[in-house]
């Protein structure tokens, strides 16, 4: 990731419109900003959310609230609680997210 040509700025996430993305179960709400090809999102998963696909996009993800379960296609599973993060490269390890209680995440990809 090359973080070039991005002037200093601030983001007030409370005024960013959110978009709705249905999962296999539950809903994800995204607030998204793009900075010279880098997508930055504040994502909220509703309780009972399960992604409807295996993701191959690379991310750096920080759990802010709730609890996030991440399953890798090879069967490994990880649980993130507030203050925990994960990172994965593009096309490295397909993964999908779920949560029983809901989760709020900050994601850079």
% of the chain at pLDDT higher than 70: 99
- 0.85 cut: is pTM over it? yes
Where do the structural domains in the chain lie, given as residue ranges? 18-56+66-108
Give the tens place of pLDDT for each residue, 65-88. 999 999 999 999 999 999 999 999
Query: What is the CATH number that goes with domain 18-56+66-108?
Result: 2.60.120
For the chain, the helix, strand and coil percentages under 3-state DSSP, each to the nearest 5? 5, 55, 45
Q: What angle do CA 72, 26, 22 make, to 5 degrees?
A: 85
Those residues with Cβ within 8 angstroms of residue 4's Cβ, 6 or more apart along the chain or in another chain: 36
Alpha-carbon gap, residue 72 to 68, rounded angstroms: 13
Give the tens place of pLDDT for each residue, 18-66. 999 999 999 999 999 999 999 999 999 999 999 999 999 999 999 999 9
CB 93 within 8 A of CB 73: yes
Query: In this model, does residue 2 exceed pLDDT 90?
Result: no
In Å, how far from its chain's centre is CA 65?
12
Name the residue among 35, 8, 31, 33 with its Cα closest to residue 21: 31
């Amino acid at each position: 990731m090359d973080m070039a040509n991005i002037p200093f700025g601030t983001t007030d996430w409370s005024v960013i419109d959110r978009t709705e993305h249905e999962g296999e179960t539950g809903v994800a709400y995204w607030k998204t900003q793009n900075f010279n090809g880098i997508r930055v999102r504040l994502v909220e998963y509703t309780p009972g959310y399960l992604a409807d696909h295996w993701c191959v996009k690379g991310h750096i993800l920080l759990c802010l609230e709730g609890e996030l379960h991440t399953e890798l296609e090879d069967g490994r599973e990880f649980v993130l609680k507030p203050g925990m993060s994960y990172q994965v490269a593009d096309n490295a390890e397909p993964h999908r997210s779920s949560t029983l209680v809901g989760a709020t995440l900050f994601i850079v990809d």
